[in-house]
Structure 1
Amino acid sequence: MPTAALDIIDRYFTCEFTTLGRGGAPQTWPVSPRLLTDGRFLVATSIGLPQKAFNIRRDPRVSMLFSEPAGSGVATPGAVLIQGDAVADDAVVTSFTDPDFAALMRTVAARQPAGAIWHSQVGRRVFWSYYMRILMHVTPRRALYWPDRDFTSAPNELDLAEVRRVD
């Protein structure tokens, strides 16, 4: 995978996460995913807003479009589209002892420094429900890359084996 494409995945603050609703219509939310070392992506949703998990359990096909470079510091902004299959965990995670969840929360905290209170000891006590999350893992099946975000041009297809990397 070109370094620029991995840079987009690592540094864009959010992506547009799309699932399929009950009737098959796409439903899209901004999320802050984390690329795991095994090549899967981790996304979490609050137990108060579980629609993403419900949709995934009904139809695992999802997409993640990394298209908005604002605040990322990426020198040459492009876009990456990941299409894949997701699994929504049955368990609700509430503890930082889960290494994937802890890594995701570090990613979110780094991307949203204004929300530091949420991640402090006080924040975790007062806003405890914020940390009641359903984890969703996305296994990529296809990855497309637009080096200049020109969606009228044909994208480059990326080699999924190159997504795997060690933090």
Structure 2
Amino acid sequence: MLIDSRVSEVLSKVRVVELATIGKDSSPQVRPMSAIWVPGKGHIVLTTPLAFPQKVFNIRRDGRVSLFYSDLTGSGLDGKTAVLVQGTADAPQIAAGSAELEDFWSATFSRNPEYATQFASPGYRATMDWYYWRLPIYVTPERVHVFDATPVGGVLEPPPPSAVPMAEQIRDAIERYPTAVLTAFDDQGHPYSVRAEVSADLRVRPLQPFDGKPGRASLLWHRHSLGAGGDTSSMLTLQVIGSFDGERFTAERVPGALPDERGAGGGEYDWVARAKQQSAAYLAKRGLAEPVVDWDALAGYTTP
């Protein structure tokens, strides 16, 4: 489809988008992601590490997705326009190295030149190679919705409590964030997301035109901030799966933690070790070779 210049600018500059896929239980699953718009190829590229493949599994079952460009933090845009892209995603049965994802890495690291220092470290290369073994996702836009932007962000400090009941996590999120991302399904079964205000009794008021129907739904609260080098270095997030009757959300469960969340028990080193083991297990189960990471090429993408 034809993407006009206004929408293309949003797709090109927004740092973090909300990707909605369809879970095995037919609920929308929504996560903050980096997404790269490649106008010359007419698609949007996303990736996820082999250690955390759930989004890819969802897409391989059902390719209907949406990408919501609602948080313009660090984009340099005027903050007035949000964009929802609905389309079909393809997640090929490959494990990609750096060369296979040149479009993604070159755009990602040109925004974040400070990563060049990390790439030069032998310790980083040995410890974090698994992070650059990626499962690619290619989204072909089919419908585009342009909205007025709404309040985003929220309080990063103090961090929310961990290992507390879902009701307490939700209460913290409602107090911490001005809006949440509400996602349900439209008449064609595509995920449809808008920003919404959520009250303490889980009444939900969409702030943008909402074509989602009553039924399976999710609420996502998240916030990212920019580090000294412009990277999205700090993030908080909470997703809750449930149902929406057109007025009130019924919470059912909190899905598993995001890849960049350390979780309860064990520190960052334990998390890295587990992720590396999970990546190796993914390759072994499918008879795939370890992807090749060209560190010098990655460092080159950080050069203006």
User: Is 1:14 paired with 2:19?
Assistant: no
Which aligned pairs between 1:76-95 and structure 2 lie closer than 5 A?
76-94=79-97
User: Is 1:109 paired with 2:109?
Assistant: yes
Tell me the secondary structure at the aligned position of residue 41 of structure 2: coil
Call closer, same or farther: CA 1:117–1:50 in 2, change over 3 Å. farther
Contact persistence 1:13–1:111 (CA under 8 A): no
Call closer, same or farther: CA 1:46–1:153 in 2, change over 3 Å. closer
Distance 2:94 2:145 in 1: 32
1:33 to 35, 38, 52: 35
Tell me the secondary structure at the aligned position of residue 105 of structure 1: helix
Call closer, same or farther: CA 1:117–1:31 in 2, change over 3 Å. farther
Tell me the secondary structure at the aligned position of residue 95 of structure 2: coil
Contact persistence 1:82–1:141 (CA under 8 A): yes
Contact persistence 2:95–2:135 (CA under 8 A): yes
Call closer, same or farther: CA 1:103–1:117 in 2, change over 3 Å. farther
Contact persistence 1:124–1:131 (CA under 8 A): no
Call closer, same or farther: CA 1:6–1:102 in 2, change over 3 Å. same
Q: Which has the larger radius of gyration?
A: 2
* Larger relative contact order, structure 1 or 2 (CA cutoff 8 Å, min sep 6): 1
The alpha-carbon deviation at position 40 of structure 1 amounts to 0.9
The alpha-carbon deviation at position 112 of structure 1 amounts to 4.1
Q: Which amino acid aligns with 1:43?
A: L
Distance 1:81 1:29 in 2: 14
Distance 1:112 1:23 in 2: 37
The alpha-carbon deviation at position 79 of structure 1 amounts to 0.6
* Residues 74-105 of structure 1 deviation map (CA, whole Å, 9 limit, x = unaligned): 024311111011111101012x322xx11211
Q: What is the TM-score when the length of structure 2 is the normalising length?
A: 0.46
The residue that corresponds to 1:144 in the other structure is: 145
The alpha-carbon deviation at position 117 of structure 1 amounts to 4.4
Contact persistence 1:9–1:35 (CA under 8 A): yes
* Residues 31-80 of structure 1 deviation map (CA, whole Å, 9 limit, x = unaligned): 11111222111110100000000000111100000010111110243111
The residue that corresponds to 2:78 in the other structure is: 75
Distance 2:54 2:15 in 1: 22
The residue that corresponds to 2:133 in the other structure is: 132
Unaligned runs of 5+ in 1: 156-167
Distance 1:3 1:72 in 2: 16
Count of equivalent residues: 150
Distance 2:22 2:208 in 1: 26
Distance 1:18 1:115 in 2: 28
User: Is 1:51 paired with 2:54?
Assistant: yes
Call closer, same or farther: CA 1:70–1:76 in 2, change over 3 Å. closer
Q: What is the TM-score when the length of structure 1 is the normalising length?
A: 0.80
Backbone CA RMSD of aligned residues: 2.1
1:66 to 66, 69, 74: 69
Using the aligned pairs only, state the percent identity: 29
Distance 1:153 1:20 in 2: 22
